Structure 1
């Protein structure tokens, strides 16, 4: 009959095993990452020996740790599904429709989406946009913070800098693009949603011409607008396309994934170019748009 050896590993062996067991992994790992081995990272084997933890207590702790990591990772994953649905609808309305059918058709699709989707079901807008985005960001941040806590437990207070969850080099490209795009998404939302709600208590006057109007304000409007939306669209396209490649387990085909991200960004920007070349809005509505932009940039009005 096979009998487990009762030999206690030497300290040198424990140190070597500890170093081999822990390796930093990006938040967006594949399905195996959702079953992250909390038992390996939660408690140092030397600490377990010193404190003489009971087998049952340690098993319960490991199960709780695994469950928390599992649900944080799942929350991050499935919240991205909801936000991707909004992005698809938004890109179709403000990019694909103007690109292939013209600006008037784009305005009609925007009005249709606003009337029958957003305003008729405001809870849907809350879930798809701020709700899913906040859950995605919050669960990703919570997952990284919890892994950092596990590392602190394992290394007695402070993990080696090379293994730290907060070290820039241990963030994946997908994660870095996600964090970098947040200020751009927030500014875009502030300009097109928050300011009209603040000033007009609604967005009935906001059309695609409102976005195009900003490209023609001042000497630098077209350059600032072009640079801003090029960076934002590039970051969002990279984050979403490579993130879905992770979920679908095709991320190793980086050339295909990269080409897809470039195609998505190029199509999106082409639609925005159609909007930008529409020119400034004249008359009363143009003055009102000037006022909204001045409020956004906090200029004296």
Structure 2
């Protein structure tokens, strides 16, 4: 008998209980952990210290918690449960995985495209709104084309950023799915969960391993479609039919609103609404504002006063972001739909050229 009154058999019972607890936890249906870090934005660093107020509320620095997880998980053969950003793609020289670099590509490509979008917004909306005339605004559009429609600047400012932005997002989703399948379902590593009796989750998105599709990503796919259609109608189609797009300007758009009103209004309303919403929410994500925006509080502390303050803060952010998106849409629509769309029909041989271009598209 132990002089302290402890029976040595208690250690065996405790050890057995801990194993049973581990097995019971493994049998739970997990939710992909990647979404938690995805919601924090591309600049989220789990090893970064929280703010003093957050430290006081959470009882310590997040960096210390992550450091302890890494320390506890580094001893196993498979890395344990530590947070490891090393990937098989070889992008681990600085301790970051492939998703980290893909997110950076998405971010910096949006900077470049935003420069083009600002110039395009000014020449197709702001200047027509101030000039109140389509012919008076054409010269400014031609001047802006000398900046973003040259053989060098057009691929760098328009085509390449779009391809990089969309491609990086799609590839990141594929990598997250592969990581979820490997982490939770043992895909590619049958020894990881051998003999543990893991049951697969019942939810379809959990079984497939795909991360949740956010509203920013969903609007981005829609924005890609309408931008591609817009570029085809105003740039690609004239190049194919006429050999160049020198005659394409605001008058071409105004002519389309007269001859094909319903299609033009629907197309440009989708372009403005989805585009402004996606870009404003995207910039809010880069600044770390969208992560705390919402109408419903996701995590409750159990303290009514704290929950009310957190809920009001989330709702204020949601309202402000949507207000900025609505204001950007209104400004673009005021000049684009309020002035250019009412510019009238183009007559003469130029009008016939416009009719020939629109006739090539089945929907017009």
Query: Which TM-score bucket, shorter chain as reference?
Result: 0.7 to 0.9
- In 1, distance between residues paired with 2:41 and 2:115? 21
Change (3 A) 1:113 1:250: same
TM-score between the two structures when normalised by the length of structure 2: 0.67
Shift of 1:165: 5.5
- In 2, distance between residues paired with 1:54 and 1:125? 46
Shift of 1:105: 3.3
- In 1, distance between residues paired with 2:79 and 2:121? 56
Partner of 1:184: 226
Which residues in structure 2 correspond to 1:49-88 (within 5 Å)? 52-53=77-78, 61=86, 64=92, 66-88=96-118
Contact 1:107 1:207 in 2 (8 A): yes
1:138 pairs with one of 167, 177, 187: 167
1:95 pairs with one of 117, 120, 125: 125
2:216 pairs with one of 170, 174, 185: 174
Contact 1:34 1:73 in 2 (8 A): no
Contact 2:109 2:165 in 1 (8 A): yes
Mind listing any 5+ residue stretches in structure 1 that lack a counterpart? 1-6, 40-44
1:288 pairs with one of 341, 353, 357: 353
- In 1, distance between residues paired with 2:85 and 2:226? 43
Shift of 1:203: 1.2
TM-score between the two structures when normalised by the length of structure 1: 0.80
Change (3 A) 1:17 1:165: closer
Q: How many residues align?
A: 274
Q: Which has the higher helix share?
A: 1
Partner of 2:180: 151
- In 2, distance between residues paired with 1:26 and 1:233? 30
Mind listing any 5+ residue stretches in structure 2 that lack a counterpart? 1-14, 48-65, 67-71, 188-199, 294-316
Partner of 1:22: 33
**SS of the residue 1:296 aligns to:** coil
Contact 1:27 1:175 in 2 (8 A): no
Shift of 1:14: 5.3
**SS of the residue 2:107 aligns to:** helix
The CA RMSD measured in Å over matched residues stands at 3.3
Partner of 2:329: 265
Q: Which structure carries more relative contact order (alpha carbon 8 Å, separation 6+)?
A: 1
Shift of 1:202: 1.3
